[in-house]
Structure 1
Amino acid sequence: MDRLLDIKNAITRHARDGLTPTALPGLSVMRTTRTNQPSGDVLEPAFALIAGGLKHTALGGEVYEYGPGEYLVATVDLPVVGNIIAADEDDPFMAVTLRLQPDRIASLLLDTGGPHRPAPAHSLSAFGVGHASPPLLDAIARLLALLDHPADLAALGAGVEREILWRLLTGPQGATIRQIGIADSRLAHLTRAVRWIRDHYSEPLRVPDLATTAAMSPSVFHRHFLTLTSMTPLEYQKQLRLNEARMRLLTGHHDVAEVGFSVGYSSPSQFSREYRRMFGTTPSHTASAPR
């Protein structure tokens, strides 16, 4: 836990209030003393270590809670609803986030042969939570320490990042992370469909067309998509729509019906009903909330 304290101290030195990019591309730190209400977000492929406070994330029908020394991994774009549930001046919420880049994972697998484990025969979830091992905490602490020395960061940062990826590949979520670096993996095929939905969330969705994009039959595609994202394709699209609608309402769009239409809803009543089910409040209440 001493290394976790080192990580917290480094975050305090380098984080402004909220999420703060660092000098190392793909590495961000976060610090806040405030809790917040549930809000929609899209997790991109990334690893995030929690160093202080507590957070909830809802994905599909599951709610995950994680705190100091725990980490989460997302391997595809995932629409979630999350909020910080414990943070104050004495114990801020703090986190470190590292983007998971396919080319770097592929390079590591090529150079090492990857962890010597058989490829799973079943589908894998794109989201996982686990406890960080002492070697993983040590590598993260050393990477953050390099931020205090730009010349050292330029020379050594890529090597320490590579070590972190190796610790993840050999950890509990390693089988899923490994798929990111394999160009012809099932995850790679499903990712094409996931990206299509994200880029065209307001358009009508046809599962047979998505299955063709993923080079699968409709039934196989539906099964693997559900396992990967904890949602059906239609549920995935709905959550993207509602997350986008909430963002628009919070940033000054006051015409609720117009917002609903803009994200793909043809029925204002259906939009309001599904929005309330997800966020626990009505679109009109969100639109009129003080900024």
Structure 2
Amino acid sequence: MLVNMDKYEDVSVLDDANSALDREAARLASLIYTHTSQDGTYASPIHGLYVNRYSQVEAADDVHTMFSPVICIAAQGNKRITVGKDAYEYGASRMYIAPVALPVAMKIMQASPQIPFLGIGLYLDPQRIASLLPMVFPNGLPEVRNRSACYVIEADLAMMNAAARLMACLSSPDDAQMLAPLVKDEIYIRILRSPIGVYVAETVLAESGMQQVAKAIDWLQNNFSQPWKVADLAELVHMSESSFREYFRSATAMSPLQYQKVLRLQEARRLMLSSSIDATTASRRVGYLSDSQFSRDYSRFFGCPPTRDITRWRQDQQQLK
């Protein structure tokens, strides 16, 4: 009887690769834990790098926030990010990538005091990424198809190793200053060379449709309380209205007006929570003219009217304390 030893060698190689990936994820988790004293999200001394540590599954409500263009890498635990109607989950040795700024809802799905959620985020630097494009795509970008607002992919051994080395730079001010920028470039290059690299590349390519959408998003973030028309915003970024609508939805999973509405509602909620102002004042500050329309939009988005939502949120925080 003949035995195909190549089959067993392939299994052995695969097991070794998985073990190496697990070890690198454990190393990254240890470094994150070392540099975080308690639960929370922390900016680091390395420009553009932040770290996450959460030791419990969060309450029923998602956390609503604004995400800048980012690469998130999880070392352990599990997290869900919702954009529009689409939900994305990523856990150990997986990456979440958002090529453009997005209003999102986040929730920790798997975490405990013994095995907390641990991850890092690295903001995408448009200038650095643009400078790397000629090296990664010397013949120009390939055709872009099936664009999405976000992407979740596996982080291979090389990417996990780079993430761990970036975190290790936090242990030395000299390394953080001199070596971290090189490791960040490595991470950007590995993303650009990945299956979703072209989607990141097109957002920094001069005069591309996605770069124009990124400019429109930047304008919206600074002017969401003002009245405007889609045709005027399209003209501002030098696109036809139909093309602008198509590109915008493919990049954000929502229309320009829906995007503005989410920005307004998130900011209104932030104002009520942080400044203790009432719903009417908050709605006016973000651009609403009708209390009833604000209440309807708020209820559909957050699940209940403004006053009840804020009261419930504060009660939940008191219980956590």
TM-score, normalising length: structure 2: 0.85
C-alpha deviation, 1:122, in angstroms: 4.7
Displacement of 1:254: 4.1
Which amino acid in structure 2 is aligned with residue 153 of structure 1? A
- The one-letter code sitting in structure 2 at the alignment partner of 1:12 is Y
- In the other structure, the counterpart of 2:195 is 172
Gaps of 5+ in 1: none
The residue that corresponds to 2:11 in the other structure is: none
- The equivalent residue for 2:44 is 22
Task: Pick one of 71, 85, 104 that aligns with 1:80.
Answer: 104
Bigger relative contact order (CA 8 A; separation at least 6): 1
8 A Cα contact 1:55 1:65, kept in partner? yes
Shift of 1:213: 1.6
- Distance across 2 between alignment mates of 1:281 and 1:95: 31
2:18 maps to which residue? none
Q: Contact 1:58–1:82 (CA<8 Å) still a contact in 2?
A: yes
Q: Residue in 2 aligned with 1:146?
A: 169
Alpha-carbon offset, residue 10 of structure 1: 0.4
| Residues 203 and 214 in structure 2, CA contact (< 8 A), matched pair in contact too | no
The SS at the match of 2:79 is strand
Quote how far apart the aligned CAs of 1:48 are.
Answer: 0.7
Write the letter of the residue equivalent to 1:95: G
Matched, 1:108 2:132: yes
**C-alpha distance after superposition, 1:185-234 (max 9, x if no partner):** 22211111111111111111201111112211111111111111100001
User: 1:58: how far off?
Assistant: 1.4
**Which residue number in structure 2 is paired with residue 263 of structure 1?**
286
SS at match of 1:143: helix
Does the 8 Å contact 2:48/2:123 carry over to 1? yes
Residues 118-197 of structure 1 mapped to structure 2, 5 A cutoff: 118-122=141-145, 124-197=147-220
Q: Determine the C-alpha separation between the residues in 2 that align with 1:262 and 1:268.
A: 12
| Residue 265 of structure 2 corresponds to residue 215 of structure 1 | no
Give, as a single letter, the amino acid of the residue that structure 1 aligns with 2:269: R
Tell which structure's C-alpha radius of gyration is larger: 2
Q: Is the 8 A contact 2:78 2:109 kept in 1?
A: yes
Aligned pair count reads: 290
Match of 1:11 among 32, 36, 39: 32
Root mean square deviation, CA, Å: 1.8
Counterpart of 1:175, as a letter, is V
Alpha carbons of 1:101 and 1:286: their partners in 2 closer, same or farther (altered >3 Å)? Answer: same
Note if contact 2:42-2:50 (Cα within 8 Å) is conserved in structure 1: yes
Cα distance in structure 1, aligned partners of 2:112 and 2:273: 24
Q: How does 1:57-96 map to 2 (within 5 A)?
A: 57-96=81-120
* CA-CA distance at 1:123 after TM superposition: 7.1
> Any idea what SS the aligned residue of 1:274 has?
helix
Contact between 1:50 and 1:67, CA under 8 Å: does it hold in 2?
yes
For structure 2, list consecutive stretches of 5 or more residues without a partner in the other structure: 1-21
Secondary structure class of the residue paired with 1:180: coil
Q: Distance between the aligned counterparts of 1:38 and 1:126, measured in 2?
A: 19
Identify the residue that residue 35 of structure 1 maps to in structure 2.
Answer: 57
Q: Quick check: 281-290 or 236-245, which moved more?
A: 281-290
Q: Report the AA paired with residue 34 of structure 2.
A: R
CA deviation digits over 1:148-200, x for unaligned, max 9?
Answer: 22223333222111111111001122011112332222221111111111111
Establish whether residue 224 from structure 1 lines up as the match of residue 224 from structure 2.
Answer: no
The percent identity for this pair of structures is: 34
- With normalisation by structure 1, the TM-score equals 0.93
TM-superposed deviation, 1:86: 2.3
CA distance in 2, matches of 1:121, 1:22: 34
Question: Retained in 2: the 8 A contact 1:59–1:230?
Answer: yes
Check conservation: 2:302, 2:309, Cα contact below 8 A: no
Q: What amino acid maps onto 1:273 in structure 2? A: R
Could you tell me which residue of structure 1 aligns to residue 307 of structure 2? 284
1:102/1:86 CA distance change after superposition, 3 Å: same
Cα distance in structure 2, aligned partners of 1:118 and 1:192: 20
